[in-house]
Amino acid sequence: MKPTAHFRLAIPALAAVFLSTVGAAAQPLAWSDPQAYPNNSFFRDVMPEPEQAVPDDDEVIQQSPAVRERFRRQTVAYNTTEAAGTIIIDTPNTYLYYVLGGGRAIRYGIGVGRDGFTWAGVQSIARKQEWPDWHPPAEMIARQPYLPRMMAGGPGNPLGARAMYLGNSLYRIHGTNAPDTIGQRVSSGCIRLTNEDVTDLFNRVSVGTKVVVLPDHGRRTPVASVETRPVPPTVRAPAVSYQPAQAPVYSGSSVSRIY
């Protein structure tokens, strides 16, 4: 057979080998992991960053060093006629008590409403939410039109890690992304705790838990004594009726500090 004939027969075989090699080595145009793009790839410039999921609690729910020692969660002696499982908000002293019974309670430091925004009465927890979305009420938007109409739940949300909604009022017991405001009067009437503390309280209460908000008469009483006894198991409180409160008018500049 002539050399040219051998060459013509070899061309298809060589082409088949080449095409099979290319197919095996081919890669998809876009990787499933954006971080796998080469540093000099234009895909890093045009592909969006992946959305951030709500982080694990262990990553974001921790006691902030910004909270003063006397506002840290602790078991204290506390005499009250309220039943075990009741929440009592001591507005003048910026404390929240979860009644254990037997003359004891768990005390949490809180932030309360600023002057003109404090309120008093009896409510009950109507709803509980983890990493709640924030929907500023119409009254707040009317006063502060620059506020977002909705903010998704997460570490940057002013409601923090947990929220407990009080009756059909505008008020909540919630976490905060500004722990340095614990012990202060900065909100529009809601009660705030650190994310760690609100998570602890959230796990102890149920829908229907009674919430007693004491009036702020500008007087401070001596704080309850601290005990070292361990906290007993959670006691549930029965559902009770509530008395809606009216929200006063306030103009502020920081979402995290006013709500």
Q: Is residue 49 part of a domain?
A: no
Question: In this structure, is residue 133 part of a structural domain?
Answer: yes
What does the alpha-carbon distance between residue 90 and residue 215 come to, in Å, rounded to a whole number?
A: 8
Q: Map residue 201 onto helix, strand or coil.
A: helix
Q: Give the Cβ contact number of residue 161 at 10 Å.
A: 28
244 within some domain: yes
Domain around 243: 59-71+110-220+239-258
pLDDT score, position 54: 45
Residue 1 pLDDT more than 70? Answer: no
Q: What is the pLDDT of residues 31-89, one digit of tens each?
A: 344 344 444 444 344 444 433 344 444 444 555 667 889 999 999 999 999 999 999 99
Q: Return the pLDDT at 214.
A: 97
Catalytic residue (choose from 6, 135, 190, 217): 190
At 186-210, the pLDDT tens digits run 898 999 999 999 999 999 999 999 9
Q: Which of 199-208, 210-219, 250-259 has the lowest mean pLDDT?
A: 250-259
Task: Tell me the sheet residues that pair with 73.
Answer: none
**113, β-bridge pairs:** 187
Q: Angle at the Cα of 130 (from 144 to 57), degrees rounded to 5?
A: 110
> Which of 6, 135, 174, 217 is an active site residue?
174
Rounded distance between C-alpha atoms, residue 223 and residue 148, angstroms: 38
- Nearest residue to 47 via CA among 62, 30, 63: 30
Confidence tier at 137 by pLDDT (50, 70, 90): confident
- Has residue 128 got a pLDDT over 50? yes
Q: Which residue matches tokens 């309220």?
A: 82
Active site residue 190: yes
Looking at the structure of the chain, the number of domains it has is 1
* CA-based nearest residue to 118, from 63, 41, 191: 191
Would 26 be classed as within a structural domain?
Answer: no
Residues 220-242 pLDDT 10s: 554 444 443 444 444 443 333 33
Spacing of C-alpha 209 from chain mean position: 20
The DSSP result for 189-200, as a single string, is S-EE--HHHHHH
Assign residue 168 the CATH number of its domain: 2.40.440.10
Sign of CA dihedral 31, 33, 35, 36: negative
Q: Which residue has 């549930």 as its token pair? A: 236
Instruction: Quote the pLDDT of residue 184.
Output: 94
H-type alpha helices, the chain: 3-25, 43-46, 57-60, 138-143, 195-204, 255-258
Strands 210-213 and 74-77: unpaired
Q: What's phi and psi for 108, nearest 5 deg? A: -120, 140
Q: Which pLDDT belongs to residue 17?
A: 53
pLDDT tens per residue across span 89-119: 999 999 999 999 999 999 999 999 988 889 9
Question: For residue 81, is it within any domain?
Answer: no
- Give CA–CA dist 210/196, Å, rounded: 21
Look at residue 131 and tell me if it is in a domain: yes
Q: Rounded distance, CA 176 to CA 158, Å?
A: 5
In a domain, 89, yes or no: no
The whole-number average pLDDT for the span 162-178 is: 95
What would the DSSP string read from start to end of 150-165?
-B-SSTTSTTTTEEEE
Distance (Å, whole) CA 192 – CA 127: 16
Could you tell me if residue 11 is inside a domain?
no
